[in-house]
Amino acid sequence: MEQNQLYTAMRFYFLYVDRYVFGAGWVFPDSHLPYAMVRYILRGSAEFVVDGRSFLVHEGQVVYLPDGCRLSCHTMDQTFEFYSIRFKSATQLGAEDLLRDHFHIRLVNDCAGDASILSYFDQVYRSATSQNPGKAFRVRGNLELIIAWLVEQAGGQPARSSTVREDTPFTLRYDLHLNRLPQQDPRIGALVDYIVDHPTEQFTTESLCRTANLSPSSLRRLFKRYTGKSPGAFIQDLRLMVAARRLLVTDARISDIAYEVGFEDPNYFSRMFRRNFGASPQEYRRNAQ
């Protein structure tokens, strides 16, 4: 039951995908990542340094880069090509990185001839750049298939690492957090799904209560237990994720993006964006180029 509660509380929000080809001498300078990334190495090899740990990666491997890590890279071959997908967790469950801390996903994963994982990356890339009216669902579905594949490579269970003592602070926090996870409430689950699918809609307490058929006090209590955030904080964080995606895929003015996602004050938008992503909107857009 505890594992099921963990599974049903997870939400992932797609930000951006691209296919990159770099030549000899390419360097990605040491930077903080304000999102998580998965990369499929299509050709060549490179050195990735993640939070001070060095990894040599090559063709046929999938690299998971946790939200908030520090990353630097440089190519080792004449040509280095890879898919890169950026995403955020829309629901925080108390760990620094849900996938790393609870599911122990490895940073570097060998595909070992498994063609399915490459097809998932292909589908995310093709769907995100298509005009298919169902592309949002194809992107989301294949992103979750990639995450499922990574979890399976790590063993598939949100269990404690064998190197963690039973009485360590991390283990105690993990147990305490799972004990506090609520039974799944279908009303809150449906409401979260609706909010994720309509992030720029103008929500009010009354409209949320009406959708979930809950009183204001019950809504606040159950929503906080289910997502770890108040409805207002959850919606604001989601809108910032939408803004982050628009900064990457459009040339719209930052003030226009802020207004489109529900922020009437561009300065407040910039402060909240920096708090969530560790960079101003201008820096975030510039660093992606």
DSSP H or E stretch at residue 148:
helix 135-153
- The predicted pLDDT at position 288 comes to 65
CA dihedral over 279, 282, 285, 289, signed as positive or negative: negative
- The predicted pLDDT at position 1 comes to 36
- The predicted pLDDT at position 91 comes to 58
Q: Report yes or no: 209 and 216 within 8 Å, Cβ to Cβ.
A: yes
Work out the end-to-end distance of the chain between its first and last CA atoms, rounded to an integer number of angstroms.
44
pLDDT greater than 60 at residue 126: yes
pLDDT greater than 60 at residue 167: no
**CA distances (Å), origin 256, targets 14, 201, 252:** 21, 16, 7
DSSP state of 288: T
* pTM (predicted TM-score): 0.66
pLDDT greater than 60 at residue 92: no
Q: Report yes or no: 10 and 38 within 8 Å, Cβ to Cβ.
A: no
DSSP state of 104: -
Give the model confidence (pLDDT) of 47-83 as tens digits: 999 999 999 999 999 999 998 889 999 999 999 999 9
Give the model confidence (pLDDT) of 182-217 as tens digits: 456 788 888 888 888 888 898 999 999 999 999 999
**CA distances (Å), origin 266, targets 18, 96, 141, 253, 271:** 28, 29, 33, 11, 9
- Identity at 163, one-letter amino acid code: T
- 257/240 Cα distance (integer angstroms): 10
Tokens standing for 229?
A: 């955030």
Name which of 68-72, 95-99, 144-148 the model is least confident about. Answer: 95-99
Closest CA to 36 of 75, 74, 90, 112: 90
Q: What is the mean pLDDT of residues 214-235?
A: 88
For the chain, domains (ranges, CATH) are 2-153 (2.60.120.280), 186-287 (1.10.10.60)
